[in-house]
């Protein structure tokens, strides 16, 4: 079997070799290309010369055979490079450089040679096409003009002529030198050329028309240049220009090199003379020309006498007129020296600060008025110095308009300065005791007015000295104010400052808040709130504190003025309890401690009946001093728990006049027993009894009975009026259930 396969391979191998086709590549031009006999190109021709790479013979069925490398010498591809890698059949364009006596060369090599069963793409030698570059570089056309410089006002035509053809060096077509076929002309604005129609500006004319001659017609006054060059047929490249300058014979012939500002000596200004031309002259406002105003015009007036004035400064100008046409203005180079100027005290400052502007090179005795731009505000004047306020911020131009005596228009002078943003604001203490000073910062004190409004949170007392008090709402026109307070009550103060310039325009409105207290006894109105054993809102301002048996209390303290505005909190320095009954032993049941802003109370009252009322005395201190008269928190102490009386016992009437009735709801009591029995805390009583006692505030037992009945009475007709406490022992609770009874005969 192997032998058969080898024989078949040997027989087929020659046919495989013969089936291969060797392809070579060639470069062809595809568009805008001279015929095959013209082997030259024009330089700088855009989108003109296009090329392709093709295989020979063509691959079967449009088969692609790889990429190619292309390189150009003395030229660039459309992407600006001199080398490319392209696919076969792709088109690329070349722009050849404008180089004299050189060739543009396009080279091609294979980027990836192919050798398959059917195709051999040989890399082989580099293929290239070379083209002579048709350049006119370095040559100038032979052109002459019949009048190379017509004078001002002369509109006679000029004949322009090309005397010989311009040839492309080294380029032959049918053994004859290639000649430039077109010429580009440029004439001054307003001029016309007659050649195969009317031309203006820049235009092309054939070589034949140029050799026949063209007519160029100038206007009356426009100067400029006539330029001519040969150009190729399809590109922008061409020869060098031949240029003819047309100054029209105009010149500034006589004038002073400089004039010192303020020197009113008459000077002569002259220009070249052109017959039949009207001259219009202009000088700065206030100056005189030939003893008249600052403008004048007349026929053939090419020389004038000019007298300066200190009212203004500027340039002397003249223009020419004829047949409804005018020249441009011609400016004399005379320099005005020592001209008016301004200097500034600082090139950088803060907004609303003072700035001194000084007039320079101006006789202050002649100054009638000075106005400034609206980015500053005038403050004051002293000699040549003017003080202003910078109103805006950023890089600003400050302008001074100076009107001098006898002048109709001001001299305007500007100077650039840098102004930092610095808003106006009130500075002062946030709290003061007897006096506080407030002022406006970052401003020009002599250039602004400040209108203060002071608003207090309370009306002053008639007992307070009026000469040392600020009123409820008062306006002050001053740059700073000092407020005094001799009051005992706290106060919240609102300040408003309206800042205006000298014209009354509002620049800024500022706000500030402060608190005040007069003497060392000022501390504010104290408010308290707190909690008992973690329950919040147990204590609140306006109510007595109720302190019962073995409880912990935390009191938080804040301070306000009489209008409810919060005040700076003073520090708590001492807390003590004072009894209304003057029994000092009650304080032994209260363990008091405190921090700077809170009070802690831990009670240790016995089960025996104790009741007392009194107050907590709190000593305070703030930055105005110590509180000698202390603040008072009402306190009620009781080992009883009036708020926990049971719902199954009712004592009435309350207040009672003589007979106190006590009713016991046995059904409700049975429900209470059932609950406690279910919880395992107490066993059920089949025949309960109730121990009922009446105590006074000192703990003296006044009435006592033990009963199993659901009703009983106490006669209290002989008991003094006052507060008493009814204790009910029911066998369920270790502590008695207590109700407060008021006896009132």
**Dist CA 127 CA 26 (whole Å):** 7
CA 649 remoteness from chain centre: 77
592 in Cβ contact with 547 (< 8 Å): no
Q: Which residues contact 684 (CB under 8 A, 6 or more apart)?
A: 673, 674, 677
Judged by DSSP in three states, 643 sits in helix
CATH topology of domain 425-516: Immunoglobulin-like (2.60.40)
Selection from 342, 363, 358 nearest residue 262 by Cα = 363
Q: Which two tokens stand for residue 552?
A: 């912990």
Other Cβ atoms within 10 Å of 161 Cβ, number: 14
Domain boundaries, the chain: 19-133, 143-246, 252-337, 341-420, 425-516, 525-638, 643-743
> Which residues make beta-bridge pairs with 637?
547, 612
388 in Cβ contact with 379 (< 8 Å): yes
Other Cβ atoms within 10 Å of 96 Cβ, number: 30
Q: Which two tokens stand for residue 716?
A: 């209290």
- Please state which of the four CATH numbers 2.60.40.3080, 1.10.3720.10, 2.60.120.580, 3.40.50.300 is assigned to the domain occupying 643-743: 2.60.40.3080
Q: What's the Cα-to-Cα distance from 422 to each of 294, 499, 648, rounded to whole Å? A: 47, 14, 76
CATH architecture, range 252-337: Sandwich (2.60)
- Please state which of the four CATH numbers 3.30.530, 3.40.50, 2.60.40, 3.30.420 is assigned to the domain occupying 525-638: 2.60.40
pLDDT at 133: 92
371 in Cβ contact with 401 (< 8 Å): yes
Report cis status (omega within 30 of 0) of the bond before 653. yes
Judged by DSSP in three states, 504 sits in coil
Sheet holding 202-206, edge to edge: 202-206, 182-186, 224-231, 242-246
Which parts of 88-241 are beta strand (E)?
A: 91-96, 103-110, 114-115, 119-121, 127-133, 143-145, 158-162, 167-173, 176-179, 182-186, 192-194, 198-199, 202-206, 214-217, 224-231
* Same CATH fold assignment for domains 19-133 and 643-743: yes
- Please state which of the four CATH numbers 2.60.40.10, 3.30.70.640, 3.90.190.20, 3.90.226.10 is assigned to the domain occupying 341-420: 2.60.40.10
pLDDT at 607: 54
pLDDT at 478: 72
Would residue 288 be called left, alpha or beta, if left means φ above 0 and alpha means ψ between -120 and 50 degrees?
A: beta
Residue range 19-133 forms a domain whose CATH class is: mainly beta
Judged by DSSP in three states, 604 sits in coil
Averaged pLDDT, groups of 10, the chain, 745 residues long? 38 42 56 56 85 68 67 93 84 90 86 54 65 93 92 94 93 87 95 93 94 95 95 85 94 97 96 96 96 96 97 96 95 96 93 92 94 90 92 93 94 94 87 81 75 72 42 59 66 84 84 70 55 45 59 71 63 81 70 83 67 75 60 64 58 91 88 78 76 82 90 92 84 77 87
CA angle 335, 338, 342 (to 5 degrees): 125
pLDDT at 11: 38
pLDDT at 205: 93
């Amino acid at each position: 079997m192997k032998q058969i396969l080898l024989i078949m391979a040997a027989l087929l191998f020659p046919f495989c070799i013969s089936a291969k086709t060797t392809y070579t590549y060639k470069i062809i031009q595809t568009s805008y290309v001279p015929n095959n006999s013209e082997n030259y190109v024009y330089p700088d021709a855009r989108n003109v010369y296009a090329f392709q790479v093709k295989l020979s013979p063509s691959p079967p069925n449009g088969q692609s055979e790889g990429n190619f490398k292309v390189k150009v010498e003395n030229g660039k591809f459309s992407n600006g490079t001199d080398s490319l890698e392209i696919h076969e059949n792709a088109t690329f364009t070349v722009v050849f450089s404008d180089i004299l006596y050189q060739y543009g060369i396009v080279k091609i090599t294979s980027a990836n040679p192919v050798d398959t069963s059917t195709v051999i793409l040989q890399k082989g030698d580099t293929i290239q096409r070379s083209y002579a570059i048709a350049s006119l570089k370095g040559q100038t056309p032979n052109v002459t003009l019949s009048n190379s410089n017509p004078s001002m006002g002369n509109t006679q035509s000029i004949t322009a002529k090309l005397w010989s053809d311009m040839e492309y060096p080294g380029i032959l077509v049918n053994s004859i030198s290639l000649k430039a076929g077109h010429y580009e002309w440029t004439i001054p604005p307003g001029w016309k050329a007659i050649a195969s129609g009317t031309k203006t500006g820049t235009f092309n004319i054939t070589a034949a028309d140029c050799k026949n001659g063209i007519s160029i017609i100038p206007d009356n006054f426009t100067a400029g240049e006539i330029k001519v060059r040969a150009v190729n047929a399809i590109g922008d490249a061409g020869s060098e220009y031949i240029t003819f300058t047309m100054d029209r014979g105009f010149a500034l012939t006589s004038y002073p090199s400089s004039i010192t500002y303020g020197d009113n000596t008459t000077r002569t200004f002259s220009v070249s003379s052109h017959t039949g031309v009207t001259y219009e002259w202009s000088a700065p406002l206030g100056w005189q020309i030939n003893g008249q105003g600052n403008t004048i015009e007349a026929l053939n007036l090419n020389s004038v006498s000019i007298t300066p004035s200190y009212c203004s400064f500027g340039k002397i100008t003249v223009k020419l007129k004829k047949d409804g046409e005018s020249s441009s203005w011609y400016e004399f180079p005379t320099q005005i020296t020592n001209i008016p100027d301004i200097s500034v005290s600082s090139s950088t400052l803060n907004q609303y600060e003072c700035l001194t502007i000084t007039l320079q090179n101006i006789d202050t005795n002649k100054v009638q008025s000075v106005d400034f731009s609206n980015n500053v505000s005038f403050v004051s004047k002293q000699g040549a110095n003017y003080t202003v306020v910078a109103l805006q911020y950023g890089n600003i131009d400050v302008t001074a308009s100076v009107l001098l005596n006898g002048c109709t228009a001001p001299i305007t002078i500007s100077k650039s300065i840098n102004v930092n943003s610095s808003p106006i604001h009130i500075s002062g203490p946030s709290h003061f005791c007897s006096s506080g000073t407030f002022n406006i910062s970052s401003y020009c004190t002599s250039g602004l007015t400040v209108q203060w409004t002071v608003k207090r949170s309370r009306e002053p007392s008639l007992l307070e000295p009026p000469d040392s008090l600020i009123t409820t709402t008062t306006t002050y026109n001053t740059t700073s104010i000092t407020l005094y307070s001799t009051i005992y009550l706290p106060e919240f103060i609102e300040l408003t400052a309206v800042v205006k310039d000298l014209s009354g325009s509002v620049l800024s409105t500022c706000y500030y808040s402060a608190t005040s207290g007069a003497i060392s006894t000022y501390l504010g109105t104290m408010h308290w709130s707190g909690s008992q054993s973690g329950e919040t809102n147990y204590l609140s301002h306006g109510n007595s504190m109720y302190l019962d048996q073995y409880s912990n209390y935390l009191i938080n303290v804040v301070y306000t003025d009489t209008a409810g505005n919060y005040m700076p909190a003073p520090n708590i320095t001492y807390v003590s309890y004072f009894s209304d009954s003057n029994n000092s032993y009650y304080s032994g049941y209260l363990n008091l401690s405190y921090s700077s802003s809170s009070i802690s109370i831990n009670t240790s009252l016995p089960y025996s009946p104790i009741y007392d009322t009194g107050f907590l005395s709190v000593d305070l201190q703030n930055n105005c001093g110590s509180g000698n008269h202390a603040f008072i928190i009402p306190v009620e102490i009781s080992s009883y728990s009036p708020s926990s009386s049971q719902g199954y016992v009712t004592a009435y009437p309350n207040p009672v006049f003589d007979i106190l009735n006590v009713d016991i709801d046995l059904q409700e009591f049975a429900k209470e027993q059932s609950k406690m029995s279910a919880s395992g805390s107490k066993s059920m009583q089949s025949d309960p009894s109730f121990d009922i006692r009446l105590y006074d505030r000192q703990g003296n037992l006044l009435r006592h009975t033990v009963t199993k009945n659901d009703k009983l009475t106490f006669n209290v007709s002989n008991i003094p009026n006052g507060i008493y406490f009814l204790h009910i022992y029911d066998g369920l609770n270790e502590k008695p259930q207590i109700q407060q009874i008021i006896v009132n005969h």
